[in-house]
Amino acid sequence: MTALFKTRQNKHRAPGVQWIELDNGYRVWTLRVGSGAVKVLTLHGGPGCTHEYLECLEEYLVPAGIEVIFYDQLGSWCSDQPDDDSLWQLDRFVDEIEQVRKALDLDDFYLFGHSCGGLFAIEYALKYQVHLKGLVLNGITGSIQSYVTHINHLREHLPAPVIERLKGFEDRGDLDNEEYQDLLDEHLYRRHICRLPEWPDALDRAFEHLNYKVYNAMQGNNEFVFTGNLLGWDRWNELAEIRTATLVLAGRYDTMSPDDQKQMASVIPHSRVVICDNGSHCCMWDDPENYRRALVDFFRDVESGRL
């Protein structure tokens, strides 16, 4: 993305923008870049984050003749941001994706979901996979409990003084404390969210624009403390029902367990798994070449009937 499109105002009127009015009267923002028979609709994570940290997909995919459709879910940066906590529910988000698909006139398309967007993508595939040609599940696992187990495994291997300091803030409910946030940044985000010494501008913007009302309602206060309404989500037993071609993609240092990624690929019938050896949760940024190759190879192989 050029600097022209880095502000919300400019993105509202950028070429390729299509606003979609939902059945609840609110509007969501989409942006088409590139052109080609292969069309990829992107679902960002968070929940409540933005499409911004996925902007690199334009660079990776458009030169390969792939059309990328960026989309900010309701509540996120470029879309409407209503003050209504009843909206932040999984079923409503899945229904929103289907409304977006219809408005964009997509069929036989690819759905890309990263992190919580991958969770939404799994739910969409289980309900609407007749419309899908392929599915990319990036940085997601089969249940919230699997995620919580792994991220707390990562936490257990932190230095004991760091664990003690984190626990002290958590026991006091002081999760917004600047020192607590600095500990998370140093020992979690910089190791397992993005491992680059300087984070890319697109990722910084996505964190800056995150809607914490959505995030807190569905996830909780942070990556370690999961208290949101997605807490009981578990689809391990249903993954085998996903019959569309699927790429399971993650980083070696992801907040999701690489073993879980392999297990997911063993359960989903027409799937492959790629673990980016140098990557973390945002392996699109800290292992870009392996990441780009995995995506392009997947789309090419599905299109040619090899997967």
Active-site residue numbers?
115, 254, 281
Residue 29's DSSP bridge partners are 19, 72
Neighbour-count burial of 91, counting CB atoms closer than 10 A to its CB (0-12 exposed, 13-18 middle, 19+ buried): exposed
Residue pair 123/135 in contact (Cβ under 8 Å)? The answer is no
| 81/214 Cα distance (integer angstroms) | 10
| Helix (H/G/I), strand (E/B), else coil: 159 | coil
Compute, in degrees rounded to 10, the torsion defined by CA atoms 195, 197, 201, 204: 60
Rounded-to-integer distance, Cα 261 and Cα 137, Å: 9
Query: Can you tell me whether residue 245 is helix, strand or coil?
Result: strand
**Separation between Cα atoms, residue 148 and residue 226, nearest integer Å:** 8
Tokens of 224: 């370690």
Q: Look at residues 126, 124, 114, 97 and name the one whose alpha carbon lies nearest to residue 239.
A: 126
